[in-house]
C-alpha cells in the first residue's frame, strides 16, 4: 500500500515578513489579542506541515522611526526606538505561539539583556533544523534600514527558499487598489520591474539583496485564511517577484 506523505511543499524554509500593523487588527495602534491569535493559528497551519519558519516583524503598530524623524526627531534615535518596538512585537508573538505548543526563539540584532538571545546565524540555523520557529527582532540592528531589508538580509543568511511578504492586499498593484479601483495587478514581476515601475511594496535595498541571492519574493494577502498554506504549496497566490 502506498502511504500518503502529506501535502507537497514547494518552499521548505521560508522568511515570513509581517508588518507590525497586522498585530493591531482594527485598532490604529497597539496589540490586539484576537488579531494576534488568528495570525498565529494561520502560521501554525504551515508549521504543522514541517515548514521551517523564520519571521521578521515590523514595529509600526507601536512606533515608526521614519515618521518620527520626519517630524523633527533625530533619525538614529527614532530608528532605535523602532527596533525596540519590534522586540515588543516579537515577544508578543512568542508568547502566543508557545501557548499553541510551538517552541519559539526570539533572536535580536541588538542586545536586550535577559529578554531575548542575540542574533547569530549558526544558532538560528540550529533552531530551524530542530523545528523551532525563529523570530528575528530589531531589524538589522542599524538605523536607516527597513525591516524589509532585514527580512531580505536574514533570508540570504539563512538560505531561505523564499521571502513571503504578508500584506492586506493580494499582491502588487500599480497603485493602492483601495483608493484606485483601476490599479493594475501584476501576477509576476522581475526584480528590476520594482525599480522601473516605481513600485513601493518593498524598498530597493531589500529587492537588491533578494536579486543577488536569487531568492524569490511573494507578496500576498495574509488576511485570507488559506493563503499562507497555498503559497508554501506553490499555488498562484499574490505576486511573485523573481
Report residue 2 as a C-alpha cell.
Answer: 502506498
Domain that holds residue 40: 13-241
In a domain, 35, yes or no: yes
Please provide the DSSP assignment of the chain as one string. -PPP--PPPS-SEEEEEE-GGGGTTTSSSS--HHHHHHHHHHHHHHHTTT-EEEEEE--TTT--HHHHHHTTS-HHHHHHHHHHHHHHHHHHHHHHHHHTT--EEEEESS--TTSSEEP-HHHHHHHHHTT-EEEEESTTSSTT--HHHHHHHHHHHTT-SEEEEEESSSSEESS-TTT-TTPPEESEE-TTHHHHTT--SS-HHHHHHHHHHT--EEEEETTSTTHHHHHHTT---SEEE-
d(CA 103, CA 235): 28
Task: Compute the average pLDDT of residues 89-108.
Answer: 98
In a domain, 59, yes or no: yes
In a domain, 8, yes or no: no
In a domain, 7, yes or no: no
pTM of the model: 0.94
Residues 222-236: tens digit of each pLDDT: 999 999 999 999 999
In a domain, 133, yes or no: yes
If pLDDT is split at 50, 70 and 90, which confidence band does 65 have?
Answer: low
CATH number at residue 154: 3.40.1160.10
Give the model's pLDDT for residue 40: 98
Q: How many domains does the chain have?
A: 1
Distances from the Cα of 199 to the Cαs of 68, 131, 151, 157, 207, in angstroms?
24, 35, 18, 25, 11
In a domain, 2, yes or no: no
Measure the N-to-C terminal CA separation of the chain; round to a whole number of Å: 40
d(CA 217, CA 14): 10
d(CA 133, CA 4): 25
Task: Compute the average pLDDT of residues 75-81.
Answer: 90
- Answer whether residue 156 shows pLDDT above 60: yes
d(CA 202, CA 36): 23
In a domain, 118, yes or no: yes
Of all residues in the chain, what percent carry a pLDDT higher than 70? 96
217-221 and 185-186 strand pairing: unpaired
Match 515618521 to its residue by C-alpha cell: 67
- Answer whether residue 103 shows pLDDT above 80: yes
Give the model's pLDDT for residue 1: 46
Task: Compute the average pLDDT of residues 103-119.
Answer: 95
- Answer whether residue 190 shows pLDDT above 90: yes
Give the model's pLDDT for residue 66: 65
Task: Compute the average pLDDT of residues 34-38.
Answer: 97
239-241 and 217-221 strand pairing: antiparallel
Give the model's pLDDT for residue 2: 47
Instruction: Report whether 215 contacts 237 (CB < 8 A).
Output: no
In a domain, 201, yes or no: yes
Amino acid at each position: 500500500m502506498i502511504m500518503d506523505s502529506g501535502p507537497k511543499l514547494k518552499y521548505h524554509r521560508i522568511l515570513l515578513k509581517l508588518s507590525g500593523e497586522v498585530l493591531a487588527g482594527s485598532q490604529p495602534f497597539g496589540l490586539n489579542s484576537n488579531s494576534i491569535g488568528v495570525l498565529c493559528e494561520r502560521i501554525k497551519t504551515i508549521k504543522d506541515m514541517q515548514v521551517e519558519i523564520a519571521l521578521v516583524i515590523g514595529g509600526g503598530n507601536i512606533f515608526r522611526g521614519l515618521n518620527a524623524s520626519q517630524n523633527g526627531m533625530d533619525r538614529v534615535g527614532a530608528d532605535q526606538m523602532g527596533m525596540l518596538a519590534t522586540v515588543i512585537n516579537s515577544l508578543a508573538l512568542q508568547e502566543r505561539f508557545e501557548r499553541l505548543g510551538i517552541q519559539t526563539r526570539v533572536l535580536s540584532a541588538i542586545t536586550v539583556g535577559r529578554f531575548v538571545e542575540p542574533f547569530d546565524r549558526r544558532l538560528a540555523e540550529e533552531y530551524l533544523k530542530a523545528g523551532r520557529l525563529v523570530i528575528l527582532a530589531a531589524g538589522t540592528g542599524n538605523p536607516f534600514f527597513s525591516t524589509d531589508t532585514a527580512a531580505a538580509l536574514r533570508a540570504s543568511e539563512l538560505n531561505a527558499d523564499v521571502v513571503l511578504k504578508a500584506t492586506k492586499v493580494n499582491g502588487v498593484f500599480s497603485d493602492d487598489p483601495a483608493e484606485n479601483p483601476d490599479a493594475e495587478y501584476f501576477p509576476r514581476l522581475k526584480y528590476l520591474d520594482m525599480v522601473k515601475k516605481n513600485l513601493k511594496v518593498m524598498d530597493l535595498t531589500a529587492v537588491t539583496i533578494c536579486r543577488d541571492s536569487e531568492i524569490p519574493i511573494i507578496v500576498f494577502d495574509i488576511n485570507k485564511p488559506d493563503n499562507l498554506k497555498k503559497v508554501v504549496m506553490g499555488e498562484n497566490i499574490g505576486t511573485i517577484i523573481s
